[in-house]
């Protein structure tokens, strides 16, 4: 399994790690990802401290755990620890140090921490404030701050924030605030740059207005504003020639339910259960990627980071990326593939969203793990009932055979293999009751070429699917 997992996979971190809201950056020759920190079986968002993972830009299949970089107890206003560390962002200040911007879950102001290195121990630095000392978000007329995104150019830092839930009309959109060289003092703003749902009617943003998760990048002299739209599950983008306004809506970068993708299904058919989304874009060795997150355990509160290649269309636009198990790098190695790599998960009963109120009901399969949060156990797909499908994309197939499947559970029937979710069955494995993981052998020959593998359960009961072996 370890050899298989040295390939580029989604999620890109170990299956027991839950880092959503990913902000990727290349510093030196390493790619660093900063995000919030969910827990397995968590009951609210972002229960953990900030940690960081990194990889060599030439080896994005091998990630290094950099450790805890900031604890929620490090903020002096969080003495009772009631504030969770929501989605952060990082920028390099004019002094060459690394500045971490974040908002506590119970307080609508922006906190800042600082470190001399990208992934060292950050120390609390201060709160973003006006020149009179009043904190941004607390002056009369200010809207609460949320999900900071930052970019620094010279002595100026542009701070992007906002949260605009439907149908709250008191929030007006994404904001841009200009900070001075000390990284915390407001020099201009905040000003609204992308509208919320209620004030987007009649604009190009209508249907894809700003909800949350602002992020900013620069490409070919243009500023790319990435955000989660009113649709929640999608990351959209807008561009401008200047960082503080005139942004033009451009489209969808990724949708964690694959709505809008019609290459393997109907465009309106959900390819996976989904909910909120947050991430950004990054260029690595000349190729652009979109980082986003998926939902596991049938809940909103155990999210994992994924990424995909972005395909440019002209000088400005990107095509919407399809969600995959391999980030666009087809698997080539033969061996055991754990089921948590499934990028498609659904049944004949189409369901799109994981409920905001908590847990998805047991009619539907979900990715989960054994043990408690922090236990290094590989994830698997549980509760596969009749017609449940787990899809894995993509494989570079050359004389490829599926030789066994790993299952357990109160189930009787068969696990069928296809290269299309609705395609002809290419073989099957008999399934019977088992209370411990076991492998069932068989031979399924897959056509040569780049293929998906879909495993469909046909039978009674509920199957736990641990993975499959290719040879």
* Distance between first and last Cα of the chain: 13
Question: Other C-beta atoms within 10 Å of 238: how many?
Answer: 22
Catalytic residue among 17, 21, 143, 147: 21
With a CB cutoff of 8 Å and minimum separation 6, the contacts of 60 are: 8, 12, 31, 284, 327
Question: Other C-beta atoms within 10 Å of 33: how many?
Answer: 26
Using CA atoms, how far apart are residues 276 and 265, in angstroms rounded to an integer?
A: 22
Q: Is 399 a catalytic residue?
A: no
Assign residue 138 a region: left if phi > 0, alpha if psi is -120 to 50, beta otherwise?
A: alpha
With a CB cutoff of 8 Å and minimum separation 6, the contacts of 269 are: 259, 350
Going along 134-247, which residue ranges are E strands?
149-153, 156-161, 173-179, 186-195, 210-219, 222-229, 234-240
4: helix, strand or coil: helix
Using CA atoms, how far apart are residues 184 and 127, in angstroms rounded to an integer?
A: 6
Question: Which strand ranges, in their side-by-side order, compose the sheet holding 210-219?
Answer: 210-219, 222-229, 234-240, 248-255
Cα angle 365, 307, 210; round to 5: 90
Closest Cα partner for 26 from 378, 280, 385? 280
Catalytic residue among 17, 75, 143, 212: 212
Using CA atoms, how far apart are residues 289 and 296, in angstroms rounded to an integer?
A: 22
Going along 353-448, which residue ranges are E strands?
366-368, 380-384, 389-397, 400-409, 411-418, 427-431, 434-446
Cα torsion for 49, 133, 211, 202, to the nearest 10°?
A: -170
- Omega prior to 334 cis, within 30 of 0: no
Alpha-carbon distances of 204 from 101, 248, 387, rounded to whole Å = 30, 8, 39
Q: Is 21 a catalytic residue?
A: yes
Active site residues: 21, 212
């Amino acid at each position: 399994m370890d050899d298989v997992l040295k390939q580029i996979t989604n999620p890109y971190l170990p299956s027991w790690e839950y880092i959503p809201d990913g902000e990727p950056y290349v510093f030196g020759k390493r790619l660093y990802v900063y995000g919030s920190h969910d827990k397995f079986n968590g009951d609210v968002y972002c229960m953990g401290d900030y940690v960081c993972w990194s990889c060599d830009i030439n080896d994005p299949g091998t990630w290094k755990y950099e450790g805890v970089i900031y604890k929620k107890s490090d903020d002096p206003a969080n003495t009772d620890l009631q504030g969770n560390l929501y989605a952060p962002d990082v920028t390099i200040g004019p002094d060459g140090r690394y500045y971490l911007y974040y908002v506590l879950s119970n307080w609508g102001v922006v906190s800042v921490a600082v470190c001399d290195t990208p992934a060292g121990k950050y120390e609390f630095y201060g709160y973003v404030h006006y020149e009179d000392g009043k904190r941004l978000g607390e002056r009369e007329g200010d809207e609460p701050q949320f999900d900071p995104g930052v970019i620094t150019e010279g002595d100026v830092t542009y701070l992007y924030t906002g949260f605009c839930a439907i149908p709250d009309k008191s929030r007006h959109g994404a904001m841009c605030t200009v900070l001075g060289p000390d990284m915390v003092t407001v020099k201009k703003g905040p000003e609204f740059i992308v509208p919320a749902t209620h004030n987007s009617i009649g604009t190009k943003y209508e249907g894809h207005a700003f909800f949350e998760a602002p992020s900013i990048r620069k490409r070919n002299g243009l500023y790319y504003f990435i955000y989660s739209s009113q649709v929640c599950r999608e990351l959209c983008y807008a561009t401008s020639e200047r960082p503080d306004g005139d942004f033009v809506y451009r489209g969808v970068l990724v949708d964690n339910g694959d709505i809008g993708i019609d290459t393997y299904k109907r465009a309106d058919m959900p390819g996976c259960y989904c909910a909120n989304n947050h991430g950004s874009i990054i260029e690595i060795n000349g190729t652009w990627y979109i980082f986003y997150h998926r939902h596991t355990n049938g809940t909103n509160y155990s999210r994992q980071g994924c990424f995909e290649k972005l395909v440019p269309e002209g000088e400005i636009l990107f095509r919407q990326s399809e969600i995959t198990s391999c980030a666009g790098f087809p698997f080539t190695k033969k061996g055991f593939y754990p089921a948590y790599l499934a990028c498609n998960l659904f049944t004949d009963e189409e369901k799109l969203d994981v409920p905001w109120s908590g847990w998805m009901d047991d009619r539907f399969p979900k990715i989960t793990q054994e043990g408690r949060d922090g236990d290094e156990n590989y994830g698997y797909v549980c509760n596969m009932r009749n017609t449940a499908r787990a899809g894995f994309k993509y494989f570079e197939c050359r004389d490829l055979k599926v030789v066994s499947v790993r299952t357990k559970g109160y189930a009787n029937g068969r696990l069928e293999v296809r290269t299309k979710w609705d395609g002809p069955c290419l073989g099957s494995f008999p399934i019977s009751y088992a209370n411990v993981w076991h492998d069932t052998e068989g031979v399924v020959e897959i056509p040569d070429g780049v293929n998906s593998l879909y495993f469909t359960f046909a039978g009674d009961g509920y199957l736990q699917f641990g993975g499959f072996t290719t040879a």
